[in-house]
Structure 1
Amino acid sequence: MKLKGQHHLYALDLGAALALTAVYVGFARLTADDGQPTYTGPFWLGCLIAAAVGLPIAVRRRWPLAVLGTVLVALTTASLLDIPREPYTAAGLAAYLVALAEPARRSVPALAVTLSVACGAVYLGEATVTPAEDWQGAVGVAGLVSVVIGGAWGAGCTVRGRRVEAEREERRRSERALDEERLRIARELHDIVSHNLSLIAVKAGVAGHVAEAAPQEARAALKVIEETSRSALAEMRRTLGVLRTEGAPLGPVPDLDSLGSLVAEADRTGVDVDLTVHAVEGLAKGTQLTIYRIVQEALTNVIRHAAPTRCQVTVEADAREIRIDIADEGPPPASRQVISELPDGHGLLGMKERVMMYGGSFDAGPRPEGGFTVSVRLPAEGTP
């Protein structure tokens, strides 16, 4: 797959390789001009050296170090034979890929060897073997070669660093997304387990209390426990199914239409819920799930702390704001206690965290006339 994605890069390398080879073949055919030394050996040898200088560039992405070594040997030979008239472009192209593809423990020594050999060969060729410059001119040419090779290596090293940093950032984003998904699943599981276990606990208490005096009512309570536990297990399987690599049958995501099932479950525990929903059409699925979970957690708290009682649930959603209000009348007078602080547990905290995540406001507390109220405001544009 990687090779397929780099076809255009291999094509560019092939074009560069053929161009460099052609250039060096042209250098091998030059005749003496203005007293400048030129290659005087057999033409076939010049072509062989030209091929060794240029053609390896076509495969520099596969074998960077091997290509750099081959090109360096060929360029050194060409310098000593007075073929090159350019500042080691092939060595620069090869050094770029070495810095890009190889770790520093290999690319840095390769750069040092390349600069030493290339600059030495250029100096010897220009000032000693076939003098065309004085020593100062030879040093200048060697310096130009070192700038080309070193600059190409530096560019490759910079690109490599940026890619490494981009990969790290991508991993960080992936880890953050994974953490957020785990947190979302944890919230979903908390809501599922908390709500359904509250129903089961209430009905189990009823069954234990009336088991001898009213067996019929006890059996009805046990029936509710059975249905609720099966429903909870199915919902947990659907939620956890996203974590399984082999996949799992997923049910529909709870939405506003599912609020009726919450009302029915609460009614079985003795909480008479008056539900009012006014929402615009086309509300996002994520928004509907958020509303469902908030109402579910609020009703769970009512079942835990106030059943049997009456409860008013109002959901209003328009294009600008979502308003959720849940107010109960508190437990019956015989068992009523004055509530001076928020109930213990993580239910309210979970609701508050969910609301804060979407930039909304959350308020909860006892009512002056008795009971408890939860009020949530969410910006419509802040819900996914």
Structure 2
Amino acid sequence: MRVDPVQADTALAVVLTVVTIVYGLQSYQARYRAEGWRPFDLAAAGLCVLVALPLAVRRRHPWPVLVLSVTGLLVYTGAGFQPSVNVWPPLLAGYTVIARQPPREAVAAGTLTGGAWIASGLEARLSVELAVAQSVIALGIVGIFATGTRRLAERNAQLAEATDRLRREQELRARHAVVEERVRIARELHDVIAHHLSALAVQAGVAEYVFASDPPAARAALAAIGATSREALEEMRGLLQVLRVSGEVPCDQERLYRAAPGLAQLGELVERTRAAGVPVRVVVAGSARMLAPGVDLCAFRVVQEALTNVIKHAGRPATATVDLCYRPDRLEGRITDDGPGNGRAVPGSGLGLIGIRERVRLYGGSVHTGPRPDGGFEVAFTLPVTSTDP
């Protein structure tokens, strides 16, 4: 539980004030009355309050507190009152200034506090040597602790600044990764839409050709045109929802016109991963079927990024498993590994995983990434799908 500094200082000031007054009364009756010191009366108690109670605000007003405390101590000793524990509050006030103010002010605070201690020692009938020695020792100890506190505060401030800068950099990197992924989706948009438009052109040609000679075939072609166009519109709508990037982004023309991969190329991807030194096992459940090009591409990219993650971070020996389950209304995928690598669990790392989430969310799916309880890493995704006839 964190203690409020203001409450702690207030409690300390009150305790020191009470202790000083009680000690002054008891020590006067027990010792200093017989030695002829001035009686410890209300004036002495009031000066004790002036010396100790301002410590309640020492963090907010370090210099005024030090001046009040030192002034109270000098008036107390100059009025002929007995030696007391009043010397400690000015020392604490001096520590606060030394620890929190610039070096020049710290030297001035040390000089003021040391002078008050020497004056108090002389008024207490100590020798000059002893009064100076106790002042030097007390200020030396205070200086050591105050310097350590100052350096710790400076390091904490630097650490807080570095942490804030790192957080901003991570946010920028994450946004940059999302933008890059959107640009890549935009480049693949040509392939997806081109597929649908090509199918529409072929089916329209078939319908025109057999319109008079084979009406059932023409109707089937027209039905296929309707289904294909609706699917194309749906994919266009999903893609355009996330393509809000500047037109100044450079475009790789070669990649733009390259055919978009899909799960049909999963075997090639697995072989490349095995060639990189990671054994891969593929398990397919359910009835494998053709998927809409956008969903097919998304599923392939998720598996690709997950296997790339295994190669880069899992360590060796590591074995990866790709599980695909075709259900009537969705495709479920799970890519796991048993590698010892744990760097992938660090928050903010893995920009490829950010791209995975962006892709899957684009098609209305869900994804989960994280370390497995028994070791290794897991990427699990679900994509809503509909059958596409060849």
Deviation per CA, 1:144-184: give whole Å up to 9, x if none: 33135424432431331232133124214413431442244
Classify the secondary structure of the residue corresponding to 2:283.
strand
User: Structure 2 vs 1, CA of residues 321 and 189 (structure 1 numbering), >3 Å: closer, same or farther?
Assistant: farther
User: Structure 2 vs 1, CA of residues 121 and 147 (structure 1 numbering), >3 Å: closer, same or farther?
Assistant: same
Find the aligned partners of 2:49 and 2:109 in 1 and give their Cα distance: 19
Amino acid at match of 1:24: T
CA contact (8 A) 1:24 1:50 kept: yes
Match of 1:228 in 2: 235
The yes-or-no answer on 1:157 pairing with 2:150 is yes
Find the aligned partners of 1:292 and 1:272 in 2 and give their Cα distance: 7
Identity of aligned residues (%): 17
Find the aligned partners of 1:99 and 1:122 in 2 and give their Cα distance: 16
Find the aligned partners of 2:10 and 2:39 in 1 and give their Cα distance: 28
The yes-or-no answer on 1:195 pairing with 2:195 is no
Classify the secondary structure of the residue corresponding to 1:133.
coil
Amino acid at match of 2:167: S
Match of 1:295 in 2: 300
Amino acid at match of 2:143: G
Find the aligned partners of 1:39 and 1:197 in 2 and give their Cα distance: 100
Structure 2 segments unaligned to the other structure (5+ residues): 209-221, 246-259, 268-281, 286-295, 305-321, 325-332, 340-349, 357-370, 380-390
Find the aligned partners of 1:115 and 1:272 in 2 and give their Cα distance: 76
Match of 2:13 in 1: 17
**CA positional deviation for 1:136:** 1.1
User: Structure 2 vs 1, CA of residues 57 and 152 (structure 1 numbering), >3 Å: closer, same or farther?
Assistant: farther
User: Structure 2 vs 1, CA of residues 270 and 66 (structure 1 numbering), >3 Å: closer, same or farther?
Assistant: closer
TM value normalised by structure 1 = 0.53
CA contact (8 A) 1:210 1:218 kept: yes
User: Structure 2 vs 1, CA of residues 56 and 107 (structure 1 numbering), >3 Å: closer, same or farther?
Assistant: farther
Match of 1:57 in 2: 55
Aligned counterpart for 1:171 among listed residues 164, 167, 183: 164
Deviation per CA, 1:282-324: give whole Å up to 9, x if none: xxxxxxxxx985714899xxxxxxxxxxxxx9858565359xx
Aligned counterpart for 1:40 among listed residues 16, 38, 41: 38
User: Structure 2 vs 1, CA of residues 272 and 213 (structure 1 numbering), >3 Å: closer, same or farther?
Assistant: farther
Match of 1:333 in 2: none
Deviation per CA, 1:259-299: give whole Å up to 9, x if none: xxxxxxxxxx998948897389xxxxxxxxxx985714899
CA contact (8 A) 2:117 2:135 kept: yes
Deviation per CA, 1:228-263: give whole Å up to 9, x if none: 3211123558x9xxxxxxxxxxxxxxxxxxxxxxxx
Q: Comparing 13-22 with 192-201, which one deviates more in the overlay? A: 192-201
Find the aligned partners of 2:42 and 2:188 in 1 and give their Cα distance: 87
The yes-or-no answer on 1:110 pairing with 2:115 is no
Match of 2:255 in 1: none
Match of 1:260 in 2: none
Q: Aligned-pair RMSD on alpha carbons?
A: 5.0
Aligned counterpart for 1:120 among listed residues 103, 115, 119: 115
Find the aligned partners of 1:320 and 1:270 in 2 and give their Cα distance: 23
Find the aligned partners of 1:159 and 1:115 in 2 and give their Cα distance: 20
Match of 2:337 in 1: 320
CA contact (8 A) 1:119 1:146 kept: yes
Find the aligned partners of 1:169 and 1:151 in 2 and give their Cα distance: 27
Match of 1:181 in 2: 174
Amino acid at match of 1:10: V
Match of 1:74 in 2: 72
Find the aligned partners of 1:69 and 1:382 in 2 and give their Cα distance: 63
TM value normalised by structure 2 = 0.52
User: Structure 2 vs 1, CA of residues 206 and 319 (structure 1 numbering), >3 Å: closer, same or farther?
Assistant: closer
Amino acid at match of 1:278: V
User: Structure 2 vs 1, CA of residues 96 and 270 (structure 1 numbering), >3 Å: closer, same or farther?
Assistant: closer
Q: How many residues align?
A: 273
**CA positional deviation for 1:72:** 2.8
Structure 1 segments unaligned to the other structure (5+ residues): 240-268, 281-290, 300-312, 323-351, 359-377
CA contact (8 A) 1:56 1:67 kept: yes
Find the aligned partners of 2:12 and 2:36 in 1 and give their Cα distance: 24
CA contact (8 A) 1:126 1:132 kept: yes
